[in-house]
Every structure is written in C-alpha cells, then in structure tokens.
Amino acid sequence: MKTFSRFAGLMADLTNGHALCAGASGGSDLEVKLAKHGCGTVSLVDPDTVDPPNLPRTYYRKGDLGKFKVDALKAHILEAAPGTTVHAHVAKVQDVLTDAYCTGPNRPDLLLGLTDSLPGQAHVSTMAVKHGIPAVLVDVHAHAAGGMVTVVVPGSPCYRCVAASRFEAAERGDAQVDLDGARGLGADIAFIDAIALKIALALLSKGTDTDAGRFLQKMGKRTQVVVRMHPEYRWDAVDLFDLVLADLPSEPRDFKRELQDFAFLACDTLWLTPDFDPQCPCCAKAGA
C-alpha cells in the first residue's frame, strides 16, 4: 500500500513542495505533521535550544534537552516522515530568508511564520509580499485563549495591515512587542496549529481538484482567521465574536443567546476579509 494512499483526492501530491518554517517551538508538532502529509522538503529556522518548559507541549523529548531545536526536530521528522528532505538552520529567519534565497534554487512554495517574535513574523510577511510566496502566520494570544492565523497571498493585505496594533506598539516603543507565548495549554496550541496546517495544505494544493484545493477556492479572500479556544477570549479588549453576533436580530428569536447556549462559542473560528491599511509601508497598497 502506498504511503499517502489515505490522502488520495483530498490534497495535492506535495513531493516537490518546499515549506520554510520560521520558529520550531510551539509549531514543532505542526512541522512534523506537514512532513507527514507528504511535503517533500521542510526547512526549519530557529536559533534556540530545547529547554525543559518546551517538553510538555512540543514534539521534543528528554534526549533533546540542550540541543538546537532545528537539529532535534530534523531528526524527529526524518523518523516520522522518512523520505522528507529537511534543512535545519540555527539562525533567525531574517538571516536565512533573504532575497537571494527567495529567488534561488531553494525558493520555497510556502512560508510559515510560527514565532512569537514580531520582527520574525514581519520579515516572513515582507518576503511573502515581495516575492509572491504564500505565507501562513500563526499568532497565539492571551495564554492561548485565542489567536489569529493570517494568510498572506498575492492580492491580500499583508501581516502589517492585519496585525497593525502590534506594529503600532513597536513604533510607540512599547517594551512588550513580542507575543507572550510563555503560558498556554498544549491542547489550545494544538487547536490553532490544526487550523494553520489545514490552510497550509490548502495553499499547497492550490488549483487542484482536491478537497484541499476546493477549500482554498471557497475560502476566497477570508485571509484573517480569528481562532477562539476559550469563551472569555478578548484581544485588544475586543470580542470580535460578540461584534459579529451583535448584528443578529433578537426578534422573533434571540439568535445571539441561542448561539451562546448551543455553540458555547469556544473552539471556533471567524474567517474575516481584512482591509488594506492605506498607510501600510509593506504591501504597496498605499494610495491604492
């Protein structure tokens, strides 16, 4: 039986696909799963080593402690998905994902931004826009009570447009601009990573008559995916889900209350169509 026979008709053959992943911590499970779905080449970029607090919610094990994350994860991917080509870069993404890299023989088909670092995520988005490479950026918010998956593709607003408040905080000189990824349940991180992986497989299946290819087509311009794991999730003091539900009529039935009762409004997603920031210095839509 062929290795990927269980995916027949569901997604593209990714043997020749190359995904570059910035960050190999909370996203390590996702990176292994991407390879297990058949992505032929996975490039891992992360400068850090495996510490004890990583063990409960990443793919790493006791024997990995003290090793560079990308080296340990490369070994795990080769074990879990034999046949994958894995490139391990002990570096920041800014030092690997250069113009030369994006135009050379290793040009990736997909970029994954899986880091809490604002400069790291911003760089992935900038290079995605500049070189027309699809990107998926995962942000975990509020101790993983919620988060956001941003998709940057040609013609969509960039990460700078969608996550403007993070960039504004950096421009104001706020001390805390990187996301606080220190706390958060593995269950919640797995949930947001599953959404990101689903989108990644869809992007890599673009144009194919497969479930994943049609998923992408139906997704259309919904490139800002707000993910809520906990019913109390707020971000920037706003409950986006409440805002959406506020439009529902209360007569002849109270649809908002019914949804709150029956859907619980946890472990769910909002698929938003973000606006371009006319002032955005990154995605060349200024003045458009």
The interface region with Zn ion, picked from 19-27, 65-73, 154-162, 263-271 by CB under 5 A, is 154-162
18 binds Zn ion (CB under 5 A): no
Position among 57, 76, 160, 228 found at the interface with Zn ion (CB under 5 A): 160
153 binds Zn ion (CB under 5 A): no
Terminus-to-terminus CA distance in the chain, angstroms?
53
For Zn ion, the closer CB: 24 or 282: 282
User: Helix crossing, 186-204 with 28-36: angle to 10°?
Assistant: 40
Contact 17, 109 (CB under 8 A): yes
CB of residue 127 to Zn ion, shortest distance in Å: 13
- Separation CA 160–CA 70 (nearest Å): 27
196 binds Zn ion (CB under 5 A): no
158 binds Zn ion (CB under 5 A): yes
Position among 21, 196, 202, 280 found at the interface with Zn ion (CB under 5 A): 280
151 binds Zn ion (CB under 5 A): no
For Zn ion, the closer CB: 58 or 223: 223
For Zn ion, the closer CB: 142 or 282: 282
The interface region with Zn ion, picked from 141-149, 201-209, 253-261, 272-280 by CB under 5 A, is 272-280
Ranges of beta strands (E only) in the chain are 18-22, 41-45, 85-89, 110-113, 135-141, 146-152, 224-228, 268-272
Q: How far from 63 is each of 27, 50, 73, 155, CA to CA, in Å?
A: 19, 10, 12, 44
The interface region with Zn ion, picked from 99-107, 145-153, 159-167, 215-223 by CB under 5 A, is 159-167
Position among 34, 161, 195, 203 found at the interface with Zn ion (CB under 5 A): 161
State the residue for tokens 């290793």: 106
- Separation CA 57–CA 55 (nearest Å): 6
Q: Nearest 5 degrees, angle CA 198-CA 153-CA 167? A: 100
CB of residue 1 to Zn ion, shortest distance in Å: 46
Please work out the total of residues on this chain that contact Zn ion, with binding judged by CB under 5 A: 6
Q: Please say whether the dihedral angle defined by the alpha carbons of residues 260, 263, 268 and 270, taken in this order, is positive or negative.
A: negative
Can you count the helices (H) and strands (E) in the chain? 11, 8
Burial of 91 (0-12, 13-18, 19+ CB in 10 A): middle
The interface region with Zn ion, picked from 57-65, 161-169, 207-215, 257-265 by CB under 5 A, is 161-169
Task: Specify the DSSP class assigned to residue 235.
Answer: B
Q: Nearest 5 degrees, angle CA 105-CA 152-CA 107? A: 5
For Zn ion, the closer CB: 91 or 164: 164
For Zn ion, the closer CB: 145 or 280: 280
141 binds Zn ion (CB under 5 A): no
CB of residue 276 to Zn ion, shortest distance in Å: 6
For Zn ion, the closer CB: 150 or 205: 150
State the residue for tokens 């993983």: 144
For Zn ion, the closer CB: 217 or 279: 279
166 binds Zn ion (CB under 5 A): no
Binding residues for Zn ion, rule: CB under 5 A, are 158, 160-161, 280, 282-283
